[in-house]
Amino acid sequence: MSVAASTAARVVAASLVALAAACGDTTAPAFVVSSISATAGNGQHAVVATALPTAVAVQVMSTAGVPVPDATVRFAVVGAGGSVSTSAASTDASGTAQVLWTLGTVAGIDSLTATTGSYSVTFTASATPDVPAQVLVVSGDAQSAPAGTALAAPLVVMVLDKWGNAVPSTAITWSTSAGGVLASATTTTDANGMATDALTLGATPGPEPVTVSVLVGTVTLVATFVEQGN
């Protein structure tokens, strides 16, 4: 072998050794994490205590601008933000890691953080109330007034789901069987799950019940006021 050929062979061999070393060196630019970003699942909404339809996914990138495989990403809900299918996941060949997120039982905005090293990204999701489960009398019960006159205070109810969240936009039916007159036969709950009505007592003195009903599928939820005409 000539001197030139021998020198060329040594250069090629050295290059191969260096390349192999870089492939196993996690401090090489291709492996040093420089960012983590949300790629799927942010800004979703679902009913409280249910899983979001789309998995939450992140991508981890290196200082060389390429995906980082086998990076550990830790997922954690913030406060009462529910739960995740796993608290830690490794990125795949595309630098992606994902989990399923089940929302908490409190309606509102839930948050989830995904962290790798010193880098993190935050996801948010909107948890909406479940279907109505109870109707509560808030105020206006057990009033008395002269027969045939209007009660001084309005009748107020609140509709809650099984987790205690106020349920807005719920249709309410009001009725009385003692001769009184309600301002409205139907109302709708507001953003706080509240609905209000007013009653003018019947002309005959005595107790005057007012029934409040909410239809949920085939089930009717009921609350009752009992007023008194003097």
* CB atoms inside a 10 Å sphere around CB 110: 26
**Res. 24: pLDDT tops 70:** no
pLDDT tens digits for range 57-98: 999 999 999 999 999 999 999 988 899 999 999 999 999 999
Task: Give the predicted TM-score (pTM) of the model.
Answer: 0.81
pLDDT tens digits for range 167-216: 999 999 999 988 999 999 999 999 999 999 999 999 999 999 999 999 99
207 near 226, Cβ under 8 Å? yes
Q: Which of 54, 88, 75, 67 is nearest to 122 (CA)?
A: 75
**Res. 31: pLDDT tops 90:** no
Average pLDDT value for residue range 156-173: 98
What integer pLDDT is reported at residue 19 of this predicted model? 33
Assign 218 a pLDDT band (cuts: 50, 70, 90).
very high
Average pLDDT value for residue range 27-44: 88
Please spell the DSSP secondary structure of 173-202, one letter per residue. Answer: EEEESSS-EES-SEEE--TTSEEEE-EEPP
**Res. 27: pLDDT tops 60:** no
What integer pLDDT is reported at residue 18 of this predicted model? 34
**Res. 48: pLDDT tops 70:** yes
**Res. 40: pLDDT tops 50:** yes
Round to whole Å and give the CA distance between 3 and 120. 55
What integer pLDDT is reported at residue 25 of this predicted model? 52
Domain annotation for the chain: domains and CATH numbers:
30-128 (2.60.40.10), 134-229 (2.60.40.10)
What integer pLDDT is reported at residue 21 of this predicted model? 42
pLDDT tens digits for range 90-140: 999 999 999 999 999 999 999 999 999 999 999 999 999 999 999 999 999
